Amino acid sequence: MSYTVDDIEKMVEPARVHRKVYTDEEIFALEMQRVWGRTWIFAGHASEVAKPGDYKTFNIGQQAMIMVRDRDSNSIGVFYNRCSHKGAKLVGDGSGCAKAFRCPYHAWTFKTDGTLLATPPTKTKASTGFEPGDPAYNLVAAAQVDNYRGFVFVNLDANAPAMQPFFGDSLSSIDNMVDRSPESELEIAGGVLRYRHDCNWKSFVENLNDNMHPMATHQAAIEACQGYANDLPEGSPVPETVSILGPFGSSYDFFDEMSHVVFPNGHSYSGNSVSIHSAYPPVPDYVAAMESAHGEDKTRDIFSCARHNTLYYPSLTIKGAIQSIRVIRPISVNCTDIETYTFRLKGAPDEMLQRTLLYSRLINSPSSIVGSDDLEVYQRVQAGLQGMGNDWVSLERQQGNDVEHEDGSTTGMGSSELPFRNQYKYWLQWMTDTQPLKIKA
């Protein structure tokens, strides 16, 4: 069947969504056009393409893309990864440094700014059939590319609003993560984890600000960790593993206090001054480096902000206090890759990156006792929602207690399902907008 605007409107109520939103292949295909095609999608971090000619490939749904730092202008561009001749994917998946991009099929070669450079053996109209220099034969650039403090985002629709207004005040979480570097600069370091999730991308995205699941989903991990810590001989130092896993076992009251802040276009964070990341033991050399760079007052301000996940809907979630990010790469209606990247805070001691990596390995690795229990429930959601007995998913918790503010944000208690309601409000706006994407700027 083919969904009309009316059909889609019937799938999303203010606090309930229809199960097909997670399970229907046609909805997924529409989402890739209408949501992922016109929102700002995370391409990568500028430090991944630090030198002229550096590139990496990534996907926005089915759209294969290349992010590249141009050799001449030194600016970062994003192009569709498709040769303008017969359509072959120009660059194999991965990253590297290129003088130019040469298609493996007929050796058409493109400069790192996307310009067609060569069409062997000769670049004449007689041999190719088009005027040399005709821009229609250059690589097609993504409609919009922008960079916020090193975070490169791309938008496939030239009609979409600019990046900064799209993200609004949620960008303060990126500010806080960058400010945690004594040199106010981040660098991706320590490799990438890729974790395949057999579930719809939205199950993962919603869970990021689901403060009511740890005590159930992670009960076993919490008990395992607490039980082990309790059985250690008295006076034993607390293993770092325990100090990271332990806070997942915080009480309902604690998580309720980790209130939600949501923004227009689906973005949100939970936990501001209080979160499961606020009580890590300080690293003295790091605190000293920060105080010498920023002064004591500003350093205290920076550290007092210990937000949990901040979601840049729909493709990126960051943990500023941990310096790790996860990138959501939907593959199909029931398959999503989650990529975890970690950052070095420039000017900070190595211990900081080491803690980031420890956290990431404990929580975000395919081997994680936390991540595997999360994925288990997403898989069960995917299976359960096939059931015809009940078409509706409830997002109603604390619905009456949301507070709207003049600055456009809305706040709710930590136990609220406000972030999900907010996501679907905008999801519905995009999904019912039938205007085609404007592909070229």
Partner 1 sequence: MSNFQRPGLKKIETFLYRESGYLDNMQLRQWIDMFTASGDYWMPVSVDQQDPINHISIFYDDRDLMEIRLRHLDNPRSHSKDFSIRSSHVLANICIDEFNEVNGDCTVSCNFQCIMYSRDQQEIFAGRCNYQLVMQDGHYMIQRKRVDLINCDAPHGSIQSYV
CA–CA distance, 129 with 109 (Å, rounded to integer): 17
Q: How far is the CB of 342 from partner 1 (least distance, A)?
A: 6
Q: How far is the CB of 195 from partner 1 (least distance, A)?
A: 7
Q: How far is the CB of 94 from partner 1 (least distance, A)?
A: 10
Closer by beta carbon to partner 1, 359 or else 427: 359
Q: How far is the CB of 217 from partner 1 (least distance, A)?
A: 7
Q: How far is the CB of 223 from partner 1 (least distance, A)?
A: 6
Structural contact between residues 183 and 346, judged by C-beta atoms closer than 8 angstroms: yes
Q: What are the angstrom distances between the C-alpha of 334 and each of 22, 23, 24, 28?
A: 8, 7, 9, 9
Q: How far is the CB of 54 from partner 1 (least distance, A)?
A: 18
Closer by beta carbon to partner 1, 75 or else 372: 372
- Provide the CB-side half-sphere exposure for 119 (13 A, CA): 21
Residue with tokens 């088009």: 130
Question: Nearest to residue 338, comparing CAs of 346, 347, 329?
Answer: 329
Closer by beta carbon to partner 1, 20 or else 213: 213
Give Cβ neighbours of residue 55 (< 8 Å, ≥ 6 apart). 49, 66, 67, 68, 69, 91, 95, 96, 97, 98, 101, 112
Structural contact between residues 318 and 150, judged by C-beta atoms closer than 8 angstroms: no
- Strand 392-394, strand 16-18: pairing: antiparallel
Closer by beta carbon to partner 1, 43 or else 363: 363
Q: How far is the CB of 378 from partner 1 (least distance, A)?
A: 11
Q: How far is the CB of 353 from partner 1 (least distance, A)?
A: 6
Question: Nearest to residue 385, comparing CAs of 394, 396, 398, 373?
Answer: 394
Closer by beta carbon to partner 1, 161 or else 239: 239
Peptide linkage before 419 cis (omega within 30 of 0): no
Q: What are the angstrom distances between the C-alpha of 51 and each of 70, 294, 349?
A: 9, 28, 24
Cβ neighbours, 10 Å, residue 292: 12
Closer by beta carbon to partner 1, 238 or else 403: 238
Structural contact between residues 411 and 261, judged by C-beta atoms closer than 8 angstroms: yes
Closer by beta carbon to partner 1, 169 or else 223: 223
Largest CA distance in the chain: 85
Q: Is 8 exposed, middle or buried (0-12, 13-18, 19+ CB in 10 A)?
A: buried
Q: How far is the CB of 112 from partner 1 (least distance, A)?
A: 25
Give Cβ neighbours of residue 289 (< 8 Å, ≥ 6 apart). 182, 347, 348, 349
Query: Alpha helices of 73-162 — where are they, by DSSP H?
Result: 125-128
Q: How far is the CB of 192 from partner 1 (least distance, A)?
A: 7
CA–CA distance, 82 with 73 (Å, rounded to integer): 22
Footprint of partner 1 on this chain (CB under 8 A)? Answer: 189-198, 217, 219-221, 223-225, 227-228, 239, 241-242, 245, 337, 340, 342, 350, 353-354, 357, 360-362, 365-367, 369, 371-373, 375-377, 380
Question: Nearest to residue 346, comparing CAs of 197, 182, 203?
Answer: 182
